[in-house]
Structure 1
Amino acid sequence: MLGPLQVQGVAGPLRVPPGRQEVILAALLLESNRVVSTSQLVDLIWEDNPPETARTQVQICVSRLRKLLAGAEGEVTLVTRPPGYVLHTGAGNVDAALFTGLVQRARALRESGEAEEAVGLLRSAVTLWQGECLTGLDSGPLANKARQLNEERLAAVELRIRIELELGRHDRLVGELQRLTHEHPLREKLHGQLIQALYWSGRQAEALEAFRTARRYLAEELGLEPGRELRELEAAILAGELPPPNAAAPHAAARPAGASGPAAPGARPDGPAPEARAERSPKPAETPAPATAETIRQDTVPHQLPADIADFVADGQRLAALENALAGGEGRRTVPLAAITGKPGTGKSTLAVHVAHALAETGFPDGQLYCDLRGTTGAPATPVEVLGRFLRALGIPGQLIPESLDERAEMYRTRLASRRVLVVLDDAAGEGQVLPLLPGSRGCAVLVTSRARLTALPGAHRVELDVLDEDRALELLSRIIGEERVTGEAVAAEALVRTVGRLPLALRIVAARLAARPHWTLASMVHRLANERHRLDELAHGEMTMRASLSLTYEGLAPSDRGLLRLLSMAQAPTLPSWLAGALLDDRRPFPSDLLEPLVDVQMLDVAGMETGGFRYRFHEIIRVYAREQLAVQHPPEERKAAFARMAGGWMHLAQQAHRKVYGGDFTVLHGDAPRWEPPAAYTDEALADPLAWLDAEQGALCGMVEHAAEEGLHDLSWDLATSLVTLFEVRGHYDLWERTHQIALAAVRKAGNLRGTAAIRASLGSLYMSRNQYDTARQALNSALDVFQALDEPMGEALCRRDMALIARSGGDDTTALELYGRSLADFDRAGDVVGRAIVLTQSAHIRMRQGETDTAQRQLDEALDIYEGIGYAGGRARTLRRVGQLLLEQGRSDLAVLTFTDVLELCRDSGDVIGEGHLLRDLGHAFTVMGRPDRARDFFDRAVSAREQIMDFSGGALARLDLARLLTTEPGRSRELLTPAVEVFRDRRMARELTEAERLLGAC
């Protein structure tokens, strides 16, 4: 409740329908475990004018809430208790009750002299808040209760600051108090605390300036002079007689254990830091609340670390040093940075992940970012690519992520500025790859692994790994094969770890063979290794040593397993789905993971985790290199090419099926003639249950396959897969991936003389350029594609080109040309038999008809489009058309129906995670309520639209919502000025001339 009303369910967030159900739930929660009468609920919803069916409507809402709360976390029941209802739940399940309880306990602790503990509880209490209490609820009486809780929040902040001033922490509080006085300029207590903190920090002149600032605020806003306490503070400073805070504080004795004597101004008490003491204080139960478009995305907490391993061994001192280096400290002015380096197989990544997990929960509660930088591969990840991934993980929609490295890095540093996030960068190629990925805030930390020494990373704590010492090598062996076998053959065990050079990866491989063969003795394994003495002599000397140890396991595999290992090395994705094994071997068994398990048994492959559809697997990169060498020796080129074509065909089949599931069929897309390979039907059905989620998860592999197919000469498959992936790129705003894959495919089809593929790629690039508002470039691409499609008599290609050219004309205000192009596109889609393409054209052209006052024509077109979408089950198209229906209803004066329609579409957008769409619908609802003469509701929705847009850093969308709100607030010049000033800057930067002109006019009127 401390923010927008949110409910957490056992399987994730539960959405409470806006309106009456929100009001009733909020009222019951505010009075949890106490009866709330039906009459009270009626008054809260309708205030002075309830309908005759009010009590019945309340009963219906309560019934729906019961069903909703059945899926909530914790024990919660909603029961009828005359004369109304009571919601039974524990205080730990409601953040408002938690807050009140924590503040009461903190006051009691302060009274008993436990000031440190009181500070910790007050900090915990305030962190429960996610905005103003019950933001967005439309109920005057509830708003009054919410204001009371908001006041209690500020009072808790003031109390915590007062205690910290008494503890002598004034120098730490100055920045926070400056922010708070700016946010709450009329609260004299905060001004007084700022003045005291500045004075006791030795900043007398600034303290007096702070008093003058407070007096100016009060005079301008209220026409009043400062109160007695502020005036007395000024007089004491001028007289040099302001006593230290603990001299006058009733609880000055409340100091940390070990402190002696009165604390002088500016002195920091000995003993553990307040944060450490607070860690030992009782903590409130967490009440996770999912971000919606209105609260987005600052609450997004990424947890990207790979799984830790159970049999980890390491030097305790080295671990402690790494953890201390990453934890940083109060005096540190730079981002804590640690680098783990060493030769292959020494466990760099394993150590990094283990340390990250150890620090994650307590040291970095705001999340952990992880990326394999692929520094040892032929295609290392670029900083631009990594920053795009991290920004999406931090809640920024793809459409809003800028293209340039500098802009992405700036947005990334801004996003992390107030957070404590651990960034793990695995397998870096060098310093140049790492430097753009460093946060700017010293509250974050970075852990890097690399084969290079990274000596140019400034201020890094470096750990260089070598082989294990004998004790730890034996400990690792014991953890894998069992302590009894090691102690039972102690001499042989010592000989074994020496024979493999105590290299962790080599030891793990040998131990895996022993674990899989419990009848083998350790002595027999030592004897086997001794037969390859000359190879093992090199085991501790770089990459060549790994080949010897890997060959031991490789040669022990069955011939079919060795063949699969070699073929798998062609896959370039970080993790491999199980169906790849079937494709590479052309084996159509229903459970292809059975083919991979023998490789897992001897740790030539690792299980990377579960996915929808089965297990995923991962190569160690050294093993992949070894397998590739064997591939070149053992398989002739035509055999390798055939296996690769089947693997690529499998990805193409799945991508095509994902597109079909999203669109309801093979609509608005062209395909080539490259053969497909079909994974097991059960796998496909399960993996593509949520096709966009699958495309998201496999994005790296799919984009890599576009490039790999182009390199292998499979140009027809390269362009086909690239254009099929626009299903993902368009919805998620992956414009950089869209362009990169298409340019790679374009080079391949041009080299091969593939005219149809060239035209398909050029047409798709035209759509991309149009999405970026690069209309001239888009027009050129579309015209060149259209010429080829006309020559080939390809109706689908012609339809796609003319549809996008119409949209360009419409955006430029040329409705006549747009309608002519839409008409020809409609005929082309009909020739191609593409009903979704027809529905898209009908929806887009209906918007023009609506603007021209041809509402009957617009209505017919929208009705037909809806019939098409509902018939094939294309939810995205239905949502976009329904939004136009709502706008048409508004034009026709049917405002109530327009609001209902916009509300339905808003729910569809939320269900699909479309935060951009949510922002559009919030504005639409604001416009609807403006037309209905309900400015308070309109103001609320425009406010939420501003918040939704700007919290995801969509400043142009936010500026448009600010302009909407300013039009509504012409009688509030101060607020209008506050809204319009940043909007003008955005419109000027984005060259939005029409909006800039209106904003400047309104600003001038202010």
Structure 2
Amino acid sequence: MDTYFGVLGAIEVRRNGVPVDAGHAVQRRVLAVLLVDAGRAVSVDALVDRVWGDAEPVSGRTKLYGYVSRLRQVLPVEGGAVLGRERSGGYRLDVEPSSVDMHRFRELSGLARREGSDLQAEALWREALGLWRGSAFAGADTSWFNAQRDVLDGEWLAAKLELVDVRLRLAQHDRLVGELLARAAEHPLDERVVGQMILALYRCGRQAEALKEYERARRRLADELGVDPGAQLRRLHERILAADPELGVGRDSAPLAAATATEPAEGAGAVTASVSASVQQLVPRLLPADLVLFVGREYELAETQRLLGGGGPGPVTLLVTGPAGVGKTAFAVRTGHRLAARFPDGQLHADLRGFGDEPAEPFTVLGTFLRALGTVGGSVPAELADRIHLYRTLLAQRQVLVVLDNAASAEQVRDLMPSGGRCATLITSRTTLAEVSGRRIALGVLNSGTGLALLGEMLGPDRINAEPGAARSIVETCGGLPLAVWVAGARLAARPQWPLAKVARALADEQRKLDELAVGHIAVRASLGLTYQGLGPAARRALRMLALLPGPDFAVWAPAALLDVGLSEAEAVLDDLVEVHLVQTGAVSASGIRYQLHDLVRLFAQEHADRALSYGVRTAALGRLLGASLHLADVAADMLSVDFQGIPQRNLVSWRLGQDDTRQLLGDPLAWFGDERQFLIGVAEQALDRAETGPAAGLATALTAFFQVGSHFDDWERLQSRALKAALSGGDARSAAKVHRCLGELTTILDRYPEALHHFEQALLLAEGEGPAYRASATAGLAYVHRLLGQYASAVGHFEAAVELARRRGTSTVSCTRPTVSA
């Protein structure tokens, strides 16, 4: 199995020439760090520092372990790539150096320098430089990656100059002049570049122009650095003046190479060697490799070429829109490669991940783009506004295509769109992005002929010709959705012994059962059905249970509760579902790895849950989820040292995680709540829908401190108001008292004092039988509001009553409102 790793551009893995999903951005950074030190152990501390830098999360080590575990699934079982744990606690990735483009580049560079034949050296240098696809470690913006990138940028430029020396010796000066004039304009203080340029001019019979360029360089060095040219460049100038025959073709083609590498050149050269321009005009090539499997879209491609390739006044913006799975990314990549000649100054590309857990921030994308355009190291501005200014300045006079893939909003793309009249922007999105001004192309489903061509590209003509009717049936059942055709074709490609009719019959069955779905979605579900049937009983049950979860993503503790198992067992069954792509891994959060169900997978799982889960099984599972949510929220609030007295609700917890699992999840309770807020609200609302008022109100009140600390006042009021209404309707006085107490806190904070008085009064009235701790706290809240209203006599009376209740409890301190939190 041929696996190739790339860091000279976007961090990528290819297997037999086909891109492999190496995970999201942080996971790819972990891989890149290990690849840089391939064959050597890297400590956990070093990994964490290199991957996150100053942005290291609180649970960095825990997240790192998750990424390493996922990377082991990416690495081939065969092929010599082994990711192992060292006794020292670090990790080591053993791979063939030649399978990593950075190490291969350095290997080829060494061979080229040692090669005696200039023809062979030229071939080696070209091969080495051909490995570069853009800025090294594109998208990775930490101090370690930036330092590595600066080193590699220097090696890249040195390789370009070495290749020029070889080509000059091979008498290719006439083909080099244009390139060298441009490079000298970009690096006017680099004496080696200047020397190569004037030597090429001289050999082309342009002696006067060579002398003029030398004089220009001499004046610039004097004006900007206060120095004269170094000895090597001055010597070359003298030899050109004297028309030295030794400067002829094949005699002395690189007079400055050695000096640039080793000589200080009488002091002046040392200064020159230490100075590099803050921006070197590079030609970025950040587009992903063109896709092998791409058919159709000829009309849309022609229209795109007309809109973007006309060379008229700009800048031009084109938005490519359509539903998920319609092929927007593939279309954008193919368009970029077709228009490469129209944009000679390069192509920039960024996956904005607009609908994922970690949308790309314009600040980070701009950093990547600026480095790809040649901004060196620390010259990348630290402020967003400065990055935007420099980015637009660099593109003002260039012809660059900017591809912004998978955008979610106008805010995500606005700062990344160039203002230069000769540039163009291509944006893809699932939404219309109505706020973005530009031309639009909407991608629809494929017609039957094109869909059949795509299936044929995946399976080969022999299998299509052997069963043409079944092939047409597959494409028609998929409704022309490219993703659907691809999923069906991928399963058949992986199982060459399967007849096409087997998949065609399965798709036909699902079509009859899924009458409420658009035809394109039917094929995806049918293909999911084939995967589902191949699962073991535990994984099938888990997928059905996952359909009960609220919200688009979840942490492992939620399925643990649904399945009535511990965290490790839940992780194992989730791994089975991730393996067959029914569950996707998302960001690593305070609760560990977050998981996602694609919308179509969720709907598919819901339908199987409706058929397979009895009312009793469903109710018990949701009860465990509610119990786990209430238990974790209570423990997290206790960890914050909240000075707030409520009614005990431990008796409401019907299920809880073990102590070790709970401690593992709640290392940082505020971060945990930040990740789980919407999920917990969804669990509480599900319980209210089921009329489980007591524990639902318990969960709603357990979140009070978190709502206050995060200023989530809308969530606070909406959820607890609904819980209060349910408690009052159901005659649950105890729950109503708790919620009134919490809403008293909220309305006090919002300066709605009459409402606050009502809530505290009702809290006392409905909880008359509760202990002194609760009544002391509620009475103190009432006193605090009277004080805010200037009703001091009433305030004093209530405060005295609260103190007396506190003494009966055995303490002289009471909480008013506004709980105090120690984070």
TM-score, length-scaled by structure 1: 0.42
